[in-house]
Amino acid sequence: MTSAWSITAAVNPPRAAFVDYPLGHTTGQPHDPTGQRALLEAAFTAFEEATVAGTIVDLGLHWGDDAWRADPMRGDSRTAPKSKADRGAPRSDSRTERFDTPQYQSDEDRELAELRHGEEIACRACVGFDD
């Protein structure tokens, strides 16, 4: 289950179900067990029907209002701020760009990953990926 299409596509899971919901609310709105159950049933159906590796199924569900899009890093616009100082304070989006190729913190990290990649036991990040 995901509400971050680009990140999920970059990770390339065996299959995924996408909902257009704020981050952190992938399984539905708080206090809505009926909606949460419907969402999970739709996701399970999508998982059963997805037969091609890397498939991301858009469940076609939407949060309802789009107020959360104004500040997606804050999440649900109805969620109370953590402090008085936080109320109404804009937050910048400091996430780094996502890539579909491995990114390393240093040349040493890259070299170590390249050395391990050919070993019988691959690093945890490489498990399941084919060359």
- Three-state SS string over 19-74 comes to EECCCCCCCCCCCCHHHHHHHHHHHHHHHHHCCCCCEEEEEEEECCCCHHHHCCCC
Question: What confidence category does residue 126 fall into, taking pLDDT thresholds of 50, 70 and 90?
Answer: low
33-54 pLDDT per residue, tens: 999 999 999 999 999 999 898 8
The pTM of the whole model exceeds 0.75: no
49-98 pLDDT per residue, tens: 998 988 999 999 888 888 887 776 555 444 444 444 554 555 555 566 77
